[in-house]
Amino acid sequence: MKSFLLKASLILCFLSSVTNGDVLFSSLPRSLFVVASPTEGQVLKAGENDIVVTFGLNETVTNQTNGLYKKMEVKLCYAPISQVDRKWRKTVDNLKKDKTCQFTIYDKPYETNVEGFRWKIEKDTPTATYFVRAYAYNSNGEEVAYGQTTNGKKTENLFKIQGISGRHASMDIASICFSVFALVSLFGFFLTEKRQSKS
């Protein structure tokens, strides 16, 4: 009886997690087009460069249901090469658990015409390889369509952002000078102690 209750509760927990309204990325149609200004392999600098993004309805896709679209979000997403050995950037089919696209760069109501905007790369953007993805949301706040600048395997049209490391040449020089001063002082104190112990 106990094993039956345990199995039944496990099944119920599993079913509730599957049916709680989570959207799977694999279930979304790619009915949006997205174009970003960086070229393949281009290196952009955080805090200095801009990205120009254009997006809209992909006219080549049939059976569009853009009447459902109420809001658009455009996100900066990690490419697979920047996700290796980084669980905090892991791709998961369940969009509530997905960590691929962590940086929202556009969030506005949906308009039927083609939209574009310029985004200055924020200073706290980490060094990585990226692509751009757009999501369309319905009135319930659920993703219903997407588009991205790369292919399905996320291997084309990728660009790099070089983050601010926080290190500058002047800081390196100062740390070297203080290290040398500390070693000279230590050696000087050692010699002074040695002379005093002999006398």
Distance in angstroms (rounded) separating the CA atoms of residues 10 and 80: 33
Distance in angstroms (rounded) separating the CA atoms of residues 131 and 146: 13
Q: Is residue 80 part of a domain?
A: yes
Domain count, the chain: 1
Which pLDDT band, with edges at 50, 70 and 90, does 182 fall under?
confident
Q: Determine the pLDDT at residue 76.
A: 97
Q: Is residue 141 part of a domain?
A: yes
- pLDDT-wise least confident of 39-48, 164-173, 174-183: 164-173
Q: Determine the pLDDT at residue 111.
A: 86
pLDDT, the chain, mean: 86
Q: Determine the pLDDT at residue 17.
A: 47
Residue 19 in this model has a pLDDT that exceeds 60? no
Q: Is residue 188 part of a domain?
A: no
Average pLDDT of the segment spanning 183-194 = 85
- The residue type at 134: A
Q: Determine the pLDDT at residue 113.
A: 81
Which pLDDT band, with edges at 50, 70 and 90, does 171 fall under?
confident
Q: Is residue 184 part of a domain?
A: no
CATH number at residue 23: 2.60.40.1930
Q: Determine the pLDDT at residue 15.
A: 46
Q: Is residue 8 part of a domain?
A: no
Which pLDDT band, with edges at 50, 70 and 90, does 66 fall under?
low
- pLDDT-wise least confident of 8-22, 89-103, 119-133: 8-22
Residue 121 in this model has a pLDDT that exceeds 80? yes
Q: Is residue 76 part of a domain?
A: yes
Question: What percentage of the chain carries pLDDT values higher than 90?
Answer: 60
Enclosing domain of residue 65: 19-163
Whether the pTM exceeds 0.75: the reply is: no
Which pLDDT band, with edges at 50, 70 and 90, does 188 fall under?
confident
Q: Is residue 38 part of a domain?
A: yes
